[in-house]
Chains A and B, each alone.
Chain A
C-alpha cells in the first residue's frame, strides 16, 4: 500500500473502510440466488445438445410429460418468441451491434450444450429423469471448429446465413508498409490464446414466480437486470409485466452479462404458474455458458534504431462459437486497443469474429483487451530485445500521453500516467530472488495496458440514482446496480455519506430491482462506479444543496458559508450558530422542499457509423497501468512459480481504498491464471475440461502476495476524478508473467497458457520461436 497516508480533502472518500455488505457475508447471512426459496417451488432442468453440430430431426417429449411429478416440458415450439434480436441489456438502440438470441435450439444445434428442452418437476431428481425420457433424434453434421477454417468460402455454415463471419472491423492510420520498409527493426509473430471460463464461484442460478399482481418476477444471479425486456419480448408480455431482481452475486466477471437462466425460468413459471428454481451444476456452467474468446493474432511491429515505434500491423481472428452474443462488441474493443498504450504513427488493424461450432464466447473481464495485450506486450519485449533496450526503456520512449492519438484518431483527454506506473511497478520488484537450484531460472517481466471504462459511446449509456433523507436523518439510496462483489453498492453508500455529511452506516442502498430501483444499466464494462457513482453524486448534491439553502435561510447566512457535516449545519467561522440535521429536515418537510432527488447521468454519446472503419472516439475514457512479475522456472519440470506480482495503476481517485486495492489484487490474480493455467480444452466442440480439477484456476498456494501501487491523478471521469479499475486490473497481468517466463528461459512462448508441457517442449526441442529467430533486420537501404 502506498499513497495511503497522504492528507485528503474528503471526509470518507479515499479511506480504507470495511465494506457495508461484508458484515452479512462473514456471518454467512447474505442470500444469494440459490439461497432463496418460495413455498411450492418446482425444480427446473435443461436438456442440452450432445452434438456440437447437428440437425434436429424430431423431439418427442410425450414420455417425459406423462411422468408423475413433471409439470412442464418445453421445446422451441412452446416459446412465444424463440428468437430475439437482443441488444443485450442496452438502454438505447444499439445500431449494428444486435445479435440473434435463440432461447431453445430449433431445427439445428450450433454448439454442444445448447439448450434444447426445459423441464419443471416436483424434485430435481424427477426433473433429471424427465430429461432422460425426452427423445431427440439428431442428424450429426460435420461442423467447423477452427475460426480460420470457418473463414474459408466452402466451410460448414454454423448458422443460417451464408457466411460464418459475424463482423469485421479495421483501423487505418498512416502507411504501415512504407514504415516497415524504412524501419530498423521489424518483428513479426503469431499469438494464440485459449477459451477461458469465468469460474465465478456461484454458478448460474435463479427463481421465478408470478407475484400477486400478475407480474412475472425473476430473482437471479445477473449482471444485467435490464434483461427483463428480453424476457418480456420472449414471452410477448408488456415490459412492465416482467420484473428482475438481482441479489448479491457470487461473482460475475462478464459471464452473467448475457442472459443465463432468466428466460428458462420465466417460460416455466409462466406455464406452470408455480415458482420455479434452476441452478446450474458446475459442469453445466463450464459446458454450456459463455467463454472468453480464443484469438489468433498476427502482429508485425516496427521501430527505429533509436527506439521509436513506427508501425504496428495486427490481424485478429476471434472465435465467436455457436452464436454471436457480445462477440461484435468484444472484437471492437480489441480493434481499438490492439496497439496498446503506445504512440504509433502508422497503424493497420484487421479484425474478424467468426462463428464455429464451439461453445459460444462473450464478455469476460477485459472484454477483448487481455487477448491483444498479451500480443502487443510480447511484441514490445521482442522489439526491445532486438534494439538492445530494456523492456522499460523501450516502453518509456513510446507511451501515449494526454493529447496523443490512438490508432482511431481519438486524442486522449484524461490523465495518462503509464510511465509512472511502469517505473514504480518495476522498482517494486526489489532485489532479484536467487535461484534455489542450478536448474531453476529466475525471470522478470513488465507489461503495461490500457482498458476502457464505461461502455461504447455508441450505446448512449446512462444511469439513474435516487437519494433521499428520511425524517430521522438516515438516508435511502435506490439505484438499479447489480452488486457482483466488487463493492458496487458499498461505494455508492460511501459517496452518498460523503456528500450528505452522514456516516456510511446511516445509508441504506436498495439495489438491483427493476420494479423498485431506478434503472442504472449493467454492472459490466467497468462502468458502475463511473456511471452510477456519478448519478448518485448528482442526486446527493441536489439534496444537499436544497438542505443547505434552507439552513442558510434559517441561520441567516449565505449558502456558501454553510458547512454540512456530522449531521450538523454550521456557519463557517461562527461557532455559536448551528442547526441539527433533523431541524433542517423538519423545516424542509414543513415547507414542502423535497428531501430527495432522482438524478440521471449520461455518458458521452456518438452515433454508430455504418462502416467497418473504426474512427474517432469509441469509449468515454481509459485506465492505464503496469504489472510487473518475477518468476522462477524449473527447467526440469517446466513448472513456473510466481515469486512476485506488482500492480501499479492510476486509479484516478480511490473511493474505498480497500475495494480499489481488492480489485487490483483480484484482477492481477486472474491474469496470472490466464498466463499459466486456464484453458478450456475443446475437442471438435466437446469441452473436455468440465470440472475444476481439469480447468485449473489459481489457488492460494499458486500465488504470491500481490503488491499494489495506486496512483491518484484525480483525472478520471468518475465521481471525484475516479477511473474504473475492475477490468484494467486484470488486462496486463498475464503478459507481465509470460514476459518474465521468456526472460527466465530465453524463449518466447506465443501461446497461452504457458504450461509446463509447453515450456518443456520449447526447452527440449529448442525450436520455439526465439526473439531473434522470428525477426529480421531490414537492410538500411531497402
Chain B
C-alpha cells in the first residue's frame, strides 16, 4: 500500500473541538460516524442524491457523503445530535415532527430536521410550496412528506411567535484552535 499523506484537522462538532488525523480522501460522513461515533447523519446513497447525510457546516446544509473531511478544517459542524431546545429538551421543530407523525422509519429525519432549521432561519414564514422545494433534495420514502410539511409549518408559527431558531442552538461557538 502507498503511504498516504495524512492531515491533522480541527472540527468543531456540536460545539466541541476535535483534533483529527484524516486521509485526504476521508469523507466527512465517515469521520462523523466512525471516528466521532455520531451516527445521526445517515448513509442513504453516497452520491449526494438523497439528503440522509445532511449536516450543517458553518450553518449551511451540506451533504456529508460528498464532502471531504479536510475541506472542513476549522469549521463548525452541526449534526442532529447537536440539536436541542432551549432547555436541553426538544426543539420546536423536533416536537412538531413528533406531533405531526413526520417520523416513520426515521432514517430521513435527521436530514429533514436540519433542512427545516435551515429554511426557518432564512425564511421564517415559508409557504407550503417553499417548504416543499426546500426539502426536495431529501428523500423520504415512508411519509409522503405530508407530516413533514405540516411539522415545518407548525414549527414556523411557533418560532415566529418567539421560540428559538435552530441556529442559536447546539452550536455554542468556541474559539477554533488553528493548527
**With contact pairs A18-B98, A28-B110, A701-B132 given, residues A665 and B144 touching in the complex (Cβ less than 8 Å):** yes
Min CB–CB distance A571 → chain B (angstroms): 38
Query: Inside 8 A of B146's CB, which chain A residues have their CB?
Result: 662, 665, 705-706
Pairwise interchain contact A200-B141, C-beta atoms closer than 8 A: yes
Pairwise interchain contact A21-B106, C-beta atoms closer than 8 A: yes
Pairwise interchain contact A669-B145, C-beta atoms closer than 8 A: yes
Q: Is B36 an interface residue (CB 8 A)?
A: no
Within 8 A of B (CB), among A241-281: 248-251, 253, 279, 281
Pairwise interchain contact B135-A22, C-beta atoms closer than 8 A: no
Q: Is B77 an interface residue (CB 8 A)?
A: no
**With contact pairs A27-B80, A282-B47 given, residues A19 and B101 touching in the complex (Cβ less than 8 Å):** yes
Pairwise interchain contact B144-A666, C-beta atoms closer than 8 A: yes
8 Å CB contact of B101 from A31, A249, A250, A661 = A661
**Distance, CA A12 to CA B154, complexed state (A):** 24
User: What 1/0 flags go to A545-557 for Cβ under 8 Å of B?
Assistant: 0000000000000
Pairwise interchain contact B145-A700, C-beta atoms closer than 8 A: yes
Pairwise interchain contact B52-A693, C-beta atoms closer than 8 A: no
Min CB–CB distance B146 → chain A (angstroms): 4
Q: Is A718 an interface residue (CB 8 A)?
A: no
Query: Inside 8 A of B106's CB, which chain A residues have their CB?
Result: 21-22, 24-26, 30, 248, 250, 485
Within 8 A of B (CB), among A602-633: none
Lowest 7 CB-CB distances: which A-B pairs, in order? A485-B105, A28-B40, A669-B144, A25-B106, A250-B107, A28-B80, A35-B39
Query: Inside 8 A of A697's CB, which chain B residues have their CB?
Result: 139, 141
User: What 1/0 flags go to B94-127 for Cβ under 8 Å of A?
Assistant: 1001111101111111100100000000000000
Min CB–CB distance A720 → chain B (angstroms): 20
Pairwise interchain contact B40-A201, C-beta atoms closer than 8 A: no
Min CB–CB distance A288 → chain B (angstroms): 15
Closest A residue to B150 by beta carbon equals A705
**With contact pairs A21-B106, A26-B90, A250-B106 given, residues A703 and B145 touching in the complex (Cβ less than 8 Å):** yes
Pairwise interchain contact A201-B105, C-beta atoms closer than 8 A: yes
Pairwise interchain contact A692-B42, C-beta atoms closer than 8 A: no
8 Å CB contact of A201 from B46, B50, B145 = B50
Q: Is A202 an interface residue (CB 8 A)?
A: yes
Listed by A's residue number, 17 A-B pairs whose Cβ atoms lie within 8 Å are A19-B98, A28-B81, A31-B39, A37-B34, A200-B107, A201-B140, A202-B42, A203-B44, A253-B141, A281-B46, A485-B104, A485-B142, A665-B144, A665-B147, A700-B133, A702-B136, A703-B132
8 Å CB contact of B105 from A27, A28, A203, A484 = A484
Q: Is B45 an interface residue (CB 8 A)?
A: yes
Q: Is A34 an interface residue (CB 8 A)?
A: yes
Query: Inside 8 A of A27's CB, which chain B residues have their CB?
Result: 40, 80-81, 83, 94
**Distance, CA A138 to CA B113, complexed state (A):** 48
Pairwise interchain contact B80-A249, C-beta atoms closer than 8 A: no
Q: Is A393 an interface residue (CB 8 A)?
A: no
Interface size class of B (residues with CB under 8 A): 35 or more
Pairwise interchain contact A28-B79, C-beta atoms closer than 8 A: yes
Query: Inside 8 A of B99's CB, which chain A residues have their CB?
Result: 18
B positions within 8 Å CB-CB of A: 1, 33-34, 39-47, 49-50, 52, 79-81, 83, 90, 94, 97-101, 103-110, 113, 128, 131-133, 135-149
Query: Inside 8 A of A661's CB, which chain B residues have their CB?
Result: 101
**Distance, CA A666 to CA B148, complexed state (A):** 11
Beyond the given A486-B104, A699-B135, please list 11 additional residue pairs across the A-B interface where CB-CB is below 8 A.
Answer: A23-B98, A26-B103, A27-B83, A32-B39, A201-B44, A251-B142, A485-B104, A658-B147, A662-B143, A700-B131, A705-B149
Q: Is the interface of B mostly helix, strand, loop or mixed?
A: loop
Closest A residue to B90 by beta carbon equals A26
8 Å CB contact of A670 from B79, B105, B141 = B141
Query: Inside 8 A of A26's CB, which chain B residues have their CB?
Result: 90, 94, 97-98, 103, 106, 109, 113
Pairwise interchain contact A487-B104, C-beta atoms closer than 8 A: yes
Min CB–CB distance A482 → chain B (angstroms): 11
Closest B residue to A707 by beta carbon equals B146
Closest B residue to A664 by beta carbon equals B144
Closest B residue to A202 by beta carbon equals B107
**Distance, CA A115 to CA B34, complexed state (A):** 27
Task: Find the residue from A25, A30, A199, A250 having the highest chain B CB count within 10 A.
Answer: A25
**Distance, CA A198 to CA B69, complexed state (A):** 31
Query: Inside 8 A of B81's CB, which chain A residues have their CB?
Result: 27-29
Query: Inside 8 A of B97's CB, which chain A residues have their CB?
Result: 22, 26
Min CB–CB distance A738 → chain B (angstroms): 18
Pairwise interchain contact B80-A692, C-beta atoms closer than 8 A: no
**Distance, CA A202 to CA B80, complexed state (A):** 17
Pairwise interchain contact B144-A279, C-beta atoms closer than 8 A: no
Query: Inside 8 A of A692's CB, which chain B residues have their CB?
Result: 45, 47, 49-50, 139
Q: Is A774 an interface residue (CB 8 A)?
A: no
Pairwise interchain contact A22-B136, C-beta atoms closer than 8 A: no
Q: Is A572 an interface residue (CB 8 A)?
A: no
